[in-house]
């Protein structure tokens, strides 16, 4: 058996017992697939981790950058109280349309708002609205802009908030100084910003599973 088949099998075993998808989550992926969205959503195990982290935070306000079909959005939205709020930023209006339907089917349309446009245009507008600080920010969009997203996350959070950056391994390219691709440079810049910023304490974890070899970074906002 190949190593990645083993990772798949173990991930499937874990999620079957610990993070089974209900009909709503399955339908979200089915409709994302029908609309030909790429299969780059978080896995059920990762979605459940996001949900647990939001619950541990006691999150009332969540910001997501990169909605796709709203799959991670549903996992996160389910961690919120009825008067909670999740704003998710998505560049592609077709993805946002699929996500909006999936979110409505999940009964989360009163909590979740999908905002269409390049996140670097949506974020200053959001900041102008002076929103309550976000308790959790999930960064999962174009990797080249990751340092900008961490920067905006810092402006839109407060002490104790959690910032999560998805996909920080880039197949291992993140540690190859000769690799200067935009996604790798953006990911390195975000990690180095987290590591050096006086208001952040963070770590990064490599993972294997249904999405292969990957990883995420976690950072807590300090005073
Ligand atoms: N969080 C989703 C996956 C997101 S995939 C999940 O796990 O279910 C990354 C998404 O970011 C894609 O939908 C892509 O269209 C979006 N994206 C890419 N560049 C963007 C940008 N500049 N602003 C906002 N969204 C962007
Ligand atoms: C890609 C983006 C993601 O958010 C992800 O989880 C996996 C892959 C990508 O752009 O390739
Ligand atoms: Mg991702």
> For the chain, what is the domain count?
1
This prediction has a pTM of 0.98
Cα(208) to centroid(ligand 3), Å = 14
Atom of ligand 2 nearest to the CA of 141: 4
Cα(44) to centroid(ligand 3), Å = 13
Domain that holds residue 133: 3-221
Residue 1 pLDDT: 82
CATH of the domain at 176: 3.40.50.150
pLDDT average, residue stretch 178-200: 98
Long-range Cβ contacts of 78-81 (<8 Å, 24+ apart): 78/51, 78/106, 78/108, 79/50, 79/51, 79/52, 79/54, 79/55, 80/54, 80/111
Q: Which tens digit of pLDDT belongs to each residue from 88-105?
A: 999 999 999 999 999 999
Residue 174 pLDDT: 98
Residue 153 pLDDT: 98
pLDDT average, residue stretch 39-56: 98
């Amino acid at each position: 058996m190949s190593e990645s088949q083993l990772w798949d099998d173990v991930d499937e075993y874990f999620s079957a017992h610990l993070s089974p998808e209900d009909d709503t989550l399955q339908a979200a992926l089915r409709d994302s697939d029908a609309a030909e969205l790429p299969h780059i959503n978080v896995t059920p195990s990762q979605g459940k981790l996001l949900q647990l982290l939001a619950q541990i935070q006691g999150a009332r306000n969540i910001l997501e950058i990169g909605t796709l079909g709203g799959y991670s959005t549903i996992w996160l939205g389910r961690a919120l109280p009825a008067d909670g709020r999740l704003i998710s930023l998505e560049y592609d209006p077709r993805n946002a349309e699929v996500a909006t339907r999936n979110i409505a089917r999940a009964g989360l349309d009163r909590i979740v708002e999908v905002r269409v446009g390049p996140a670097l245009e949506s974020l200053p507008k959001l900041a102008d609205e002076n929103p309550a600080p976000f308790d959790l920010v999930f960064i999962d969009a174009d990797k080249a802009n990751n340092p900008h997203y961490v920067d905006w996350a810092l402006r839109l959070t407060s002490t104790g908030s959690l910032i999560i950056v998805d996909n920080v391994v880039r197949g291992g390219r993140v540690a190859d100084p000769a690799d200067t691709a935009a996604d790798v440079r953006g990911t390195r810049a975000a990690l180095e910003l987290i590591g050096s910023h006086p208001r952040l304490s963070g770590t990064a974890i490599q993972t294997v599973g249904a999405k292969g070899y990957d990883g995420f970074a976690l950072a807590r906002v300090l005073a």
